[in-house]
Amino acid sequence: MAKEIDKVGIPVSIICTITPIAETVGANRIVRAVAVPYPVGNPTVAQEDERAIRNDVLQKSLSALETQITQSITL
């Protein structure tokens, strides 16, 4: 899906855990998720810590959207 959206000229940040899959399939802006069941969060830690983790992932994904690239990147 990410590639089809990218094809029409809209940049996509894909947040996922198994980044090698996204890399193999050819997604362009790949961001490492926290874990499979909670890509953007971590319910196993304290809330304040979780907030920082969530912010980190989301900032990276927005940053990827702001980065001009000619080939795939994984943050």
Partner 1 sequence: MGAKVKVIHYLNQFFSQIGGEEQAFTKPFIREGAIGPGLLLGQLLGEDYEIISTVVCGDNYMADNTEQAVQEVFDLIADLKPDLFIAGPAFNAGRYGPACGVLSKAVGEKFGIPAVSGMYEENPGAEMYRKHAYIIKTNDSARHMRKDVAKMANIARKLVENIEFSDEDMASYFKQGYRKNLFVEKPGAVRAVDMMLQKMEKKPFVTELEMPKFEDVMPSDAIKEMKNAKIALVTEGGVCSLGNPEGLVASRADKYIEFDISEMDRLSNERFQVNHGGYNNTHANNNPNLIVPLDLMRAYEKEGKIGSIHGTLYSTSGNGTSLANSTRFGEEIAQKLLNDGVDGVVLTAT
Report the C-alpha gap between 24 and 30 in whole angstroms: 11
- Is 32 a binder of partner 1 (CB under 8 A)? no
Specify whether the CB–CB gap between 26 and 74 falls below 8 A: no
Report the C-alpha gap between 56 and 21 in whole angstroms: 22
- Under rule CB under 8 A, which residues in 36-65 are in contact with partner 1? 36-41, 43, 54-55, 57-58, 61-62, 65
Specify whether the CB–CB gap between 31 and 57 falls below 8 A: yes
**Least separation in angstroms between CB 42 and partner 1:** 8
Chain residues binding partner 1 by CB under 8 A are 1-17, 22, 24-26, 28-29, 33, 36-41, 43, 54-55, 57-58, 61-62, 65-72
